[in-house]
Amino acid sequence: MVFRFLSALVLCASASFGAGITLGNYDSGNCYPYLCFASDGGTTYQEQFNAAAFSGPITITQMSLFLDANSSPGPGAMDPATIVVTLATSTVPFGAMGSDPASNVGADAVVFGTYHFQGSMPSVLTLVGGTPFTYDPANGSLILSLAVTSDGPAACPYCSFFQADYTGTDVIRSFWSTGGSGLNNDGAPVTNFNDEFQGATVVYDGGTLGGAVPEPSSILLLSGGLGVLGLLRRRQQQK
C-alpha cells in the first residue's frame, strides 16, 4: 500500500512538471529570431512568456517552433548562425522588458543549449535541451534569451517564417541588433514546450498536431515559403 501511494506521488509529480504547453495564438508569421535575424545583424533576442498562461510548474526539456501555416510550397533556408538559448524566470513583469537584456534575466538562468542553424526550413523545428529548466509561474514570467552569432550570409533571406502571435497576450519580444532595438513588441513566435501538442496547433499545410508526441530528437522535414505579398507585409512587421 505504501509503495503504491509513493508511486502515485511520483506519477503526479512527473505529470505536473513534464506536461507540454503551447504559448501564443497563431495569427501570422515572423522570421525573427531564428530564420533571418542573424543576417539582419541581430545579436540578442528575448521572448517573454506570460506566467498566467501556465497551469503550474513545468520542467522544460525541449521546445518547438512551427512553420507559418500560410507559407507557399517550396523550401526556404535558415540563416547560417549559432544560437545560444538561455531560460530563466524574468525579473520584470510581463511586457516590461528593459533596454539592458541582462537585467531582465533572473538568477536561476540556465543555458538550455547551443544550436547551429543552416539548411532547409523544417515544418517543426525541435530544440532538445542539454540542460532542462524547471519553471514555476508563481515566481514570475518565463524569459527566453538568445545570443546570436552569424555564420555567414543568408542563402534565402526572408523566405521562411515561423508561426507568430501579434496579440501580445501570452508572448512578447525584445531584440537588439546592429541596426537598433525593438522593445516589448508583438510578433513573437508561437512556442511549444515539451512536445505535447494541443489540437489547435496548425502546421503549414492546414493540418494539426493535436495529440501527436514526436520522438524527443525528431525534426519533421517539410518545406515552406511565402508569397510575395505576404513576404513584403511580414518583412515590415518583423522590424
How many CB atoms neighbour CB 3 within 10 A? 7
Q: Which residue has the cell 510581463?
A: 94
Q: What is the pLDDT along the chain (239 residues), one digit of tens a residue?
A: 433 333 333 333 333 466 789 999 888 889 999 988 999 999 999 999 999 999 999 999 999 998 886 655 555 788 899 999 999 999 999 999 999 999 999 999 999 999 999 888 887 889 999 999 999 999 999 999 999 999 998 878 888 888 899 999 999 999 999 989 999 999 999 999 997 665 445 555 555 554 443 333 333 222 222 233 344 344 445 55
Integer CA distances (angstroms), 75 to 9, 142, 160, 231, in order: 47, 32, 8, 14
Q: pTM of whole model > 0.75?
A: yes
